Amino acid sequence: MTNNKLLTWLEEGRFVLGDGAMGTMLQDAGLTDGGAPELWNVVYPERVSAVYQAYIDAGSNMIETNTFGGTSARLKMHNLQDRVVELNRAGAKLAADIAHPVGALVAGSIGPSGELIEPVGPLTMEEAAAMFAEQTIGLVEGGVDCVVIETMSHLNEVKAAVDGVRSVAPELPIVTTLSFDTNLHTMMGVSPRQAVEELAALGVKVIGANCGTGTDEMEMIATQLAQYRPDGIYLMVQSNSGLPQYANGKIQYEGTPEVMADYAIKMRNLGINIIGACCGSSPAHIAAMRDALARVQNDPIPGPPSIEDGDSPIESSESRLARAAARRTERRQRVQA
């Protein structure tokens, strides 16, 4: 049995209820488009703490820090690149002050850097790892129980983030989630199966998906994650609350608390271990998910359908490569004609 609380809970078979959106909650509290949410950790700490508290009150037993854009590359857009450790530490400490007294966990949020990493961009793996390590220093100083490397699309960036975290805190549990928002793959073409298999090989124990286009697609993504998860791997999903729509002068999401409650039960029945929400969700959505999961807590968990039961809606990597090769051949033939 591990000494870490998150992994202990998972080993015991306990479902962990995550939180919902941070960005849209802060926008409702006054954050303007283009503002740096991480700066609010020191400028408006009471507003950030209020969001943390609202999710704890709704039933979350793991909340994420307001540090999604906390790398130097992202903070540089706001001329805050010299304050990485300070802002991450502040966001983590605010969360710990709310969560730890009631026995809840704090997950340090690490989002994409926005930089292109080799082989598709100029940033080396070592440079990227150092950037994520700097962020991790602040998160650890603030008291996180684990980190969630989230909304990733390229496996190289995930690997760099994992390396960066481990260089600072080798024993800190790492959760990795990718966004499969492009034909049920990431923007860089990674499938759920590829993600869970390759990241498990890195020694990451908790793998999953977040963001995306809504609960229907998340169900397909989570199904493949569950079908191909290696032994000893736990899964986490955080779906958007439906699709965004522009109405009454602002972006709103179509998913109601009832929709998210239904999604939570479906994730639970697939055997997902950590269930939360993402863009557009609120404490009301999390409370509905909490109540729904409580109603079925004694029901059996069916698990995912067997791989042989039918064709997956997610195209295999082999098929995608074959189609790409066919397109290249067709283009060459047109040029030669």
| Residue 311 counted as domain residue | no
Paired residues of 141 in beta bridges: none
Rounded to the nearest 10 degrees, the angle between the axes of helix 45-58 and helix 283-295 is 20
The span from the CA of 85 to the CA of 134, in Å, is 7
In a domain, 330, yes or no: no
Q: Residue 183: how many CB atoms within 10 A of its CB?
A: 13
Q: How many CB atoms lie within 10 A of CB 58?
A: 20
Mean pLDDT of 130-138: 98
Residues 195, 224: Cα–Cα separation, whole Å: 10
Band (327; pLDDT cuts 50, 70, 90): low
Pair of tokens at residue 49: 């703490």
Token output for 209: 């998906």
Over the stretch 80-105, which tens digit does the pLDDT of each residue have? 999 999 999 999 999 999 999 999 99
C-alpha to C-alpha distance for 64 and 146, rounded to whole angstroms: 10
SS3 29: coil
Residue 336 inside a domain? The answer is: no
For 189-231, write each residue's pLDDT tens digit: 999 999 999 999 999 999 999 998 899 999 999 999 999 999 9
Instruction: Indicate whether 2 pLDDT > 60.
Output: no
Give domain status of residue 331, yes or no. Answer: no
Q: At 311, is the pLDDT very low, low, confident or very high (cuts 50, 70, 90)?
A: low
> pTM score, two decimals?
0.92
Containing H/E element for 206?
Answer: strand 206-211
* DSSP code at position 305: P
For residue 148, tell me if it sits in a domain. yes
- How many folded domains does the chain comprise? 1
Contact (CB, 8 A) for 93 and 65: no
β-pairing verdict for 62-64 and 105-110? parallel
pLDDT at 232 over 90: yes
Task: Write the DSSP string, 175-188.
Answer: EEEE---BTTB-TT
pLDDT tens-digit map of 150-187: 999 999 999 999 999 999 999 999 999 999 999 999 99
Is residue 281 assigned to a domain? yes
**65 close to 112: Cβ distance less than 8 angstroms:** no
Helix spans in the chain (H): 5-11, 23-28, 40-43, 45-58, 72-75, 84-99, 125-142, 155-168, 192-201, 215-228, 257-270, 283-295, 317-336
Q: What is the dihedral of CA 292, 295, 298, 304, to 10 degrees?
A: -30
Residue 115 CA to residue 295 CA, distance in Å, equals 44
Q: Domain holding 88: CATH number? A: 3.20.20.330
130-149 CB burial, b ≥16 within 10 A, e <16 = ebbbbbbbbbbbbbbbbbbb
Tell me how crowded residue 326 is: count the other CB atoms within 10 A of its CB.
Answer: 10
Whether 73 maps to a domain, the answer reads: yes
Residue 1 confidence (pLDDT): 45
How many residues are present in the chain? 337
Decide if 327 is inside a domain: no
Predicted confidence (pLDDT) at residue 38 exceeds the cutoff of 50: yes
Q: Range of 54's domain? A: 5-306
**Residues whose CB is less than 8 angstroms from the CB of residue 286 and which lie 6 or more positions away in sequence, other chains included:** 17, 18, 19, 20, 55, 58, 59, 60, 260, 276, 277
